[in-house]
Chain A
């Protein structure tokens, strides 16, 4: 399968001397649903900004859909739809005009643009707002407006920089459904997000970036398989006052609110824990994972990343 995005040895040094990217390598296959994760300031937006022609690279190579970013920039731009993190439309323009205008930049005449605008505004549930000034939309609607705008020229690759930031759960889930369907129809999707649950449930492959370096990359399932333990929290109808010594095999601890926090290593079964609680007559009322596995992997990798000097 061809690569939708190939980044090699990409370096970005800002004018103030800050090295945002220290020579990253990244590959996203055509048709993939890919997440680029990392803490704030890790280099996610810089990477996507370079791919989107919004940030100048210092060195390195970027190929999008097989086209070279420097020598074939126009083809690169035609291949991409970009949904940035910040709202970047004229807030005083009407929703419909924003979409038609953007379509014009991609060479769609007004008639073609109007058809596409109607299609995508309807798909993103914004058709009823077509004559509304963008500034009057809610935060979730503004995000959907940017998605509709990015799709109006039907790009092969859609880049979304924190698309669900600040939107409520209902809208977030409807956006997930929309993006999943879009990906199923063949659009490669690359997103950054702080919602790790989102990345874990949507993305087949992911990369974690920290301090300008890729610290993990691969299929989501494979990366999570390497996560050696998961943390759970159990609640009881009657909280135990202390835990017998045998619970130490699960690194179990009483928490302040009377719950028990314990860890399951790879290869261990939850049934072993249930059996132990049962043995000491501690019936579990409810149980939940403390964090999802990806969150634990993310924290492990980013918090334990060693300081490295600039490669530049």
Chain B
């Protein structure tokens, strides 16, 4: 007999996946369109005048960063909007009255976010093949770093949704924190181009480590040590995961 927790976990995951598939024009289509525009404008039109970056043509250089940017925003956005919607229309109570441990709830929503992050990442990767050749240099690094990044941002999305009291609150973090950090995280440039001070500042940005490690997995170059990125990702999973569990256990923002 299947363990009840596994059934509950898969129920949450199936529900989450069905949700983002059902509303695909809002979830899967926008990153595809946005990234094609990036590929055409930055990669082709502007990139052809930039020349090489880190030893690769500009299009090849930005593809890993754009895939990572897609994964980050979609993993985060999926969990924050879905969890907050559940909270807002009180359907989260269905889970709260059921014998589902909080770690199962957390895992279910996080895997839902990872699934959307990866689905969007794969769509963008396939689209990039129209514009650039994609050769994966380190398959383990590529897969592991994208999974860990999706997990980190899915947990962060859930924490955002727990604190959110109105829909505006789930857009503040992506708009004012995630987007700037992603753009300044070396998606479009190598940090080695920056003055030393700004290189040092950039290295305080966790997204820089994720983007560069993923780039290392794809094209084999990175501005930062890969081991540091893994340590940082591991730390984020533990810290954010513990924080999310604490919030769920105490019922912060969920139970009065």
Contacts and interface: CB of A to CB of B under 8 A. Distances in A.
Contact of A56 (B2, B5, B14, B256): B256
A106 B94 contact: no
Given A53-B96, A101-B15, A109 B7 contact: yes
Interface string A46-77: 00010011111000000000000000011101
A247 interface: no
B8 interface: yes
B255 A54 contact: yes
A106 B89 CA distance: 21
Given A101-B15, A104-B10, A77 B93 contact: no
Interface stretch (A2-10, A86-94, A259-267): A86-94
B21 to A, nearest CB: 13
Interface in A244-263: none
Contact of A88 (B3, B7, B93): B93
B240 interface: no
Contact of A102 (B10, B86, B90, B98): B98
Interface band, chain A: 20 to 34
A141 interface: no
A35 interface: no
Nearest to A104: B11
A84 B97 CA distance: 11
4 tightest A-B CB contacts, nearest first: A107-B4, A104-B11, A105-B98, A88-B90
Given A74-B99, A91-B89, 18 more contacts: A14-B256, A15-B256, A56-B251, A78-B99, A80-B97, A82-B97, A84-B90, A88-B90, A89-B91, A101-B94, A102-B94, A104-B10, A104-B14, A105-B94, A106-B98, A107-B4, A107-B7, A108-B7
20 contacts: A14-B256, A53-B97, A54-B255, A56-B251, A56-B256, A73-B99, A78-B99, A82-B93, A84-B90, A84-B93, A86-B90, A88-B94, A90-B89, A104-B11, A105-B8, A105-B11, A105-B99, A106-B98, A107-B2, A149-B94
